[in-house]
Chain A
Amino acid sequence: METQEIISKINNFLIDEFELEESQLQPAASLKETLEIDSLDYVDLVVIIEKNFGFKVKGEDFAGIKTLQDFYDYIIKHAKSN
């Protein structure tokens, strides 16, 4: 899967599942403060990542993800090596 394709896929599920606007999806946006991803949304993220990108998320990897760019980088790295 190409980088741009992965980013589009991520943006699509953020728009569909988390009711975010496309304009909110700025790479520097903080997941918690700006995109208001809450503790319950994190549960959905784990399930959606496994379903869409076919890899299991590990707790220690996820701990450093603060912004949307961190999230893109994390998925790109793991989806490509999968």
Chain B
Amino acid sequence: MPSWKGQSRGTVLGYKIFVFTLKHLGLSFAYFILLFVAFYFFLFSKSSSREIYFYFREIHKFSVIKSIVGVYRNYYSFGQVLLDKFAILGGLKGKFTYNFDGEHHLQQMANEKTGGIIINAHMGSFETAGQLLERINTRINLIVLDAEHKQIKNYTSDVLANKGVNVISIQSDFSHIIPVSNALINKELIAIAGDRFINDSKAYKVDFMGKKALFPSGPFYLAARFGVPVTFAFAMKESKTHYHFYATAPIYIPKIDNKDEQEKILLEYVEKYVKEFEKMVKKYPYQWFNYYPFWEKN
């Protein structure tokens, strides 16, 4: 089963068009332009469309027509959350409303200075939850794949840095482990996606939506090694300007000296995460932005 190959969707030009449109013409107009941009991806991004179609048709068991429409809706939703992210980072956050399930869990981690790991997914827009992160008033380290185009990353990193968010890129030589470890030693919060991994990193095969798929064990081992709590969190778009944030109660993962025993425990916690993730995928099927083969295929 392939791991993430490293190309995020979109180009710098695309992002520039989004930012320009947002600044000068507003969010509604940007959504209108997005109708055509999403259609372009729907027509020409064959490999990613194939994977999204598989997800709707084989995993959700949607009809052929509903699956084809689902591919378009998925691209459109992805564009919307990107636009929202840039709108919020650009200072338009007042236009958005939020409701929070479990905010107090993050608040508790921040107040007690335990540090911790927030495991999210490529669903909805966790970065949009920056609104929440400002409310809990603590430094957060956002772990991202290095593949995102450097200029895009520089743009988002600069804006996020002003909001107390430190961006750490995942590297193929594992050197990202060091700033991540140091952040946890300093009892800071780490936010990382639990639904993607790079080559050579350890992953477990788990039942996800009825088929086997690989999930990384790294975030769970970090929590066990540094004795910090873990919460599973998702920020989902529910209407044009409304997001719903979910966070589960923090859990601690035991650290065991015996490697085999430790792996069994990690697998147990990966399965807990996958169960939460599955709930979200079922509730918000169009907001999981995965464009590569995720499941074992027959």
Q: Are A32 and B175 in contact (CB under 8 A)?
A: no
Residues of B within 8 Å of A39, CB to CB, are: 174, 177, 200-202, 218
Taken residue by residue from 41 to 70, chain A's Cβ proximity to chain B (1 for < 8 Å, 0 otherwise) reads as 011101100100000111110110000000
Which of B171, B185, B221 touches A40 (beta carbons < 8 Å)?
Answer: B221
Interface residues on A, range: 10 to 19
B254 within 8 A of A: no
Q: Are A43 and B222 in contact (CB under 8 A)?
A: yes
Q: Are B175 and A63 in contact (CB under 8 A)?
A: yes
Q: Is the interface of B mostly helix, strand, loop or mixed?
A: helix
Taken residue by residue from 147 to 183, chain B's Cβ proximity to chain A (1 for < 8 Å, 0 otherwise) reads as 0000000000000000000000001011111110110
Q: Is the interface of A mostly helix, strand, loop or mixed?
A: helix
Q: Are B174 and A42 in contact (CB under 8 A)?
A: yes
Q: Are A59 and B218 in contact (CB under 8 A)?
A: no
A19 within 8 A of B: yes
Residues of A within 8 Å of B225, CB to CB, are: 43-44, 47
Q: Are B221 and A43 in contact (CB under 8 A)?
A: yes
Least CB distance from B253 to A in Å reads 13
Q: Please count the residue pairs between chain A and chain B whose beta carbons lie under 8 angstroms apart in the complex.
A: 48
CA distance A58 to B185 in the complex (A): 13
Residues of B within 8 Å of A60, CB to CB, are: 175
A63 to B, closest residue via Cβ: B175
A50 to B, closest residue via Cβ: B185
A38 within 8 A of B: yes
Least CB distance from A35 to B in Å reads 13
B259 within 8 A of A: yes
A37 to B, closest residue via Cβ: B174
Of A40, A43, A44, A58, the most chain B CB neighbours within 10 A belong to A40
CA distance A68 to B225 in the complex (A): 23
CA distance A45 to B222 in the complex (A): 12
B225 to A, closest residue via Cβ: A43
Binding site for B on A (CB under 8 A): 19, 32, 38-40, 42-44, 46-47, 50, 56-60, 62-63
Ranked nearest first, the 10 interchain pairs of A and B with the lowest CB-CB distance are A59-B178, A39-B201, A63-B175, A46-B181, A42-B177, A42-B174, A59-B175, A40-B221, A62-B175, A57-B178
| Further 9 A-B residue pairs, CB within 8 A, beyond A38-B202, A63-B171 | A38-B201, A43-B181, A43-B218, A43-B225, A46-B177, A46-B178, A46-B182, A57-B181, A59-B175
